[in-house]
Amino acid sequence: MKKNILIVALSMFPLVSQAQSSVTLFGILDNGISYVSNSGGHSLVQMASGLQAPNLLGLRGIEDLGGGLQAIFVMDSMPNLNNGTAQGGAFSGRESYVGIASSLGTVTLGRQFDYMFDNLSVERWGHEIPYVSFYQLPGGPFAKLGTPLGTFDYTRIAGGEATPNAVKFTSKHYDGFDFGAMYGFSNLAGQTGSNNLSSFGANYVAGPLRLNAAYTYSKEDGIDNGHSGIRNFGAGGRYDFGKFAVDFLYVNTRNTFTNAHVDTYEVGGLYTFAPDLFLYANYIYAKGNEQLTNNHSNQGGVTLDYLLSKRTDVYVNAIYQRASGGADAFASVNGTFATSSSTNQTVLRIGVKTLF
């Protein structure tokens, strides 16, 4: 179980310390069969990969430079196990960065994830994250919000897409507190004030309690010619009771051009039945404003996960979403990439995941 958690976390964060210089090949492979009750008016049974965890194949390395400095790098891709393609079409299509780690923190440059993902997913869930499915993340009848990925990952906590041309600083821990800032350049002549991204985050850990906050404003080329975009901010945390851990989250998402806006609330928990058997369940409520015809959604999800070894597990997911509001209140569970023709959508899945 410890190796399971470690590989997921390290694949999503810059390395900041190691005993010696090294280069490591790492990966996560997930595949399974999913049933979607309503996909455009019809039920769907499909092979789908990268849903209990993203498929990853990558390299990470570290070199001791002396004087408390280290050079670090990460390059990874997201291969689709069923059709042989990869997100971004390259070995570094998911993220790729190089940087320096010091006693103050890390500075990295390249294609990187912002703090909505770093803080409100990886840091907030911590040891829970291997048991949280993409299907259990926020989705709903919010197509008019205008986010680049549609209803998928409108809160940015799923790590749907990393930011190119980004410079990022993440501090060391100071008495349980750390913070960071990131800026994504437009790389377009005469457009330094548009098509860019700003992100900030902070975390606080005190014993079993952790609190997390993040802000990201991404100016998008398809929104007001890159002068406006999608602004997200949120706060949440987790409390560990031993065998049981509870997590909570609030995210505010707004299109700064149209003023379309969604408030998203989530509460979840992981229960450890045995060292090899886990149950994660959560509930999400999301509500759009009048620009989104006052649509809202209620969603519940459950994942039961059984470890076959320290590296390999099998699992089942069950998710149900009900949408309501205006005439366009069609349910859409995150990760299905399919909108229901009705107000309801159910997803069932059985799969296997292995790490290396």
Domain count of the fold of the chain = 1
pLDDT value at residue 41: 96
CA distance 289 to 123: 29
pLDDT value at residue 121: 98
In a domain, 3, yes or no: no
In a domain, 70, yes or no: no
Residue count of the chain, please give it.
Answer: 356
CA distance 298 to 19: 47
In a domain, 306, yes or no: yes
CATH number of 137's domain: 2.40.160.10
pLDDT value at residue 148: 87
Per-residue tokens: 26: 């790492």
pLDDT value at residue 5: 44
Q: What angle do CA 223, 286, 78 make, to 5 degrees?
A: 65
Contacts of residue 84, Cβ cutoff 8 Å, sequence gap at least 6:
none
Within 13 A of 271's CA, how many CA atoms are on the CB side? 7
User: Which has the closest alpha carbon to 249: 123, 347, 97?
Assistant: 123
In a domain, 139, yes or no: yes
Structural domain boundaries, residue 140: 32-51+110-355
Within 13 A of 91's CA, how many CA atoms are on the CB side? 7
Is 295 strand, coil or helix?
Answer: coil
Burial of residue 67 (number of CB atoms within 10 Å: 0-12, 13-18, 19+): exposed
DSSP state of 121: I
In a domain, 251, yes or no: yes
pLDDT value at residue 6: 43
CA distance 352 to 258: 42
Is 16 strand, coil or helix?
Answer: coil
Distance of CA 247 to the CA centre of its chain: 15
The amino acid sitting at 260 is: A
User: Which has the closest alpha carbon to 355: 91, 54, 16, 51?
Assistant: 54
Per-residue tokens: 242: 């031993």
Per the listing, tokens 């209620």 go with 298
Count, in order, helices (H) and strands (E) of the chain.
3, 17
pLDDT value at residue 90: 83
Per-residue tokens: 345: 């959508």
In a domain, 61, yes or no: no
In a domain, 83, yes or no: no
DSSP characters for 73-115? EEEEE-B-TTT--BGGGSTTSSEEEEEEE-SSEEEEEEEE--H
In a domain, 89, yes or no: no
Query: What is the residue-level pLDDT of the chain in tens, covering all 356 positions?
Result: 444 444 444 444 444 444 478 999 999 999 999 999 999 999 999 999 999 999 999 999 999 999 999 999 999 999 999 998 988 888 888 999 999 999 999 999 999 999 999 999 999 999 999 999 999 999 999 999 999 888 889 999 999 899 999 999 999 999 999 999 999 999 988 888 899 999 999 999 999 999 999 999 999 989 999 999 999 999 999 999 999 999 999 999 999 999 999 999 999 999 999 999 999 999 999 999 999 999 999 999 999 999 999 999 999 999 999 999 999 999 999 999 999 999 999 999 999 999 99
